[in-house]
Structure 1
């Protein structure tokens, strides 16, 4: 499943192409891809046609496009409606010109107002049909800050994302809030990183990478974590995500592409995840014999170096 850097790659691409443009028509080619829109295809299309896209916003892995309805100017806000996109395992949002043949797994097509030099169709393509689109309400943010990362952020958030914490790339991320929540839990560190109520946007891959960079074991008890350790971990998570963004995201699956159809290449630079049995790069540079180890964790796996990420004696899962 795409993680935060992949979704941010998509957000940046979409923002470039769709902000300020009006949705002129909607084709729902497979109703399964709008199943989260309970009122069905006609209502879905009716909500979107003639709406103007104000922005493209992301919090964690949630992505939405606030809309101005009924022909309102794009600078007007407070309409309280957005198009939500959930990429699932294989969802793609692609900008295409009309003459480009339909993709094999095209599910939804949005036609956009003409703008010179810009593709006129936004296509949602999804082979595995775990993702989808739906129209949702926007609600005020709990802290009064922007709902998420966007070009012109508003103090509104998609209702489905209102329960999750801010992510490390959000300029309004609060380390103090994160550390307070972390210390109040009696759980293992990686389990806490995957808890979207504590910090959002970190999935299995980037949790392993951030923990490796911070030299922390995934079973470290959260209530024993010192402030300096927590700060180092947040900085490691932010750094690894920014590195992934620079490379265009992490692609293990050819189904994942960004909005223009280009895969990311950060998988080539991973230090822990997927490197079972290989030498730990940090240990190798220091002349140590650390080897990346894979262990079962929450029906998935964790990758650590036993030498530079030693397991704590009183660790928790």
Structure 2
């Protein structure tokens, strides 16, 4: 499943290629991909047709595109405080691809948005592709229009260009992610101290810290030299800060590498894969020597998935 760095790569692509453009038409090829739309496919089409995409925002693994009226009709107040957004959840296999209209449709194309003409700001003579396609092989993801509400702390809802202090109703329950400028390490440390759960369970708790999945949890724990079952209430200030800073560092490096792609299901908006798999230290390396001490990496069952760790570097204390 795409995690925070993969979602951020997609967000940056949407920011460059889609923001500021008007949705001219909407086509739905599989209604299951809009199953979260309250009034169904017809409402989805009506809500989006003619709407202008103002920005591209992400918190954790959640992506949304704040919507306004077409450029000529958008008031300054609406630009400053949009009321609705197009939510996109990638699920296990969702892809958001920006494509030229003359390119063939993907096999698992579920939704097509035709966008108003625009040119690349870096190359004014180069027209941008006219279509935003939602492709999803397993149909665990989807798109829907959601209402925006003010953030609890007044800070921007997530990573974005305009920094709207707004968040969709369906994303308001999740915590801020480690790459969010408003991420508060001290607050998370306090919640660690008050709980009695294992550190990896805490990292995967999207209500506490969003955007961390199995891959980056294992990689951050390896970097911080912590066992995945280490109880959070046994971590002192230095060790709890170390794991949170390790998460930030790992995700930052993954973002620079374009994310982690194990197969063709995760790609950016141009269909390109990330290459962070080349730099993994623990995840997926069962039986291979630890890059730090040479001990063989171990895999154990954990929450219907796996945990990879070094038994020498990451002993439970």
**TM-score, with normalisation over the residues of structure 2?**
0.94
Aligned counterparts of 1:260 and 1:221: Cα–Cα separation in 2 = 42
**Deviation sequence 1:29-81 (CA, Å, 0-9, x none):** 11111111121111101101111111110001011001113631587232310
Q: Which runs of 4+ in 1 moved over 6 A?
A: none
Aligned counterparts of 1:222 and 1:169: Cα–Cα separation in 2 = 21
Which of these residues, 239, 243, 248, is aligned with residue 229 of structure 1? 239
Aligned counterparts of 1:281 and 1:17: Cα–Cα separation in 2 = 39
Aligned counterparts of 2:40 and 2:69: Cα–Cα separation in 1 = 19
Tell me which residue corresponds to 1:172: 182
Tell me which residue corresponds to 2:226: 216
Which of these residues, 291, 300, 306, is aligned with residue 296 of structure 2? 291
Aligned counterparts of 1:97 and 1:142: Cα–Cα separation in 2 = 40
Aligned counterparts of 2:33 and 2:142: Cα–Cα separation in 1 = 4
| Unaligned runs of at least 5 residues, structure 2 | 120-126
Tell me which residue corresponds to 1:260: 270
Matches within 5 A, 1:1-317: 1-69=1-69, 71-73=73-75, 76-116=79-119, 117-284=127-294, 290-312=295-317
Structure 1 position 253, deviation (Å): 2.2
Structure 1 position 19, deviation (Å): 1.0
Q: Is the 8 A contact 1:69 1:79 kept in 2?
A: no
**TM-score, with normalisation over the residues of structure 1?**
0.94
**Deviation sequence 1:144-191 (CA, Å, 0-9, x none):** 100001011111001111111111100110011111111111111101
Aligned counterparts of 1:36 and 1:256: Cα–Cα separation in 2 = 22
Aligned counterparts of 2:223 and 2:281: Cα–Cα separation in 1 = 8
Partner SS, residue 137 of structure 1: strand
Aligned counterparts of 1:131 and 1:73: Cα–Cα separation in 2 = 33
| Unaligned runs of at least 5 residues, structure 1 | 285-289, 313-317
Aligned counterparts of 2:304 and 2:15: Cα–Cα separation in 1 = 36
Partner SS, residue 250 of structure 2: helix
Partner SS, residue 79 of structure 2: coil
RMSD: 1.2
Structure 1 position 254, deviation (Å): 1.3
Partner SS, residue 76 of structure 1: helix
Q: Is the 8 A contact 1:251 1:266 kept in 2?
A: yes
Aligned counterparts of 2:79 and 2:43: Cα–Cα separation in 1 = 23
Tell me which residue corresponds to 1:287: none
Aligned counterparts of 1:216 and 1:11: Cα–Cα separation in 2 = 31
Tell me which residue corresponds to 1:315: none
Partner SS, residue 230 of structure 1: helix
Aligned counterparts of 1:307 and 1:76: Cα–Cα separation in 2 = 54
Aligned counterparts of 1:111 and 1:73: Cα–Cα separation in 2 = 23
Partner SS, residue 145 of structure 1: coil
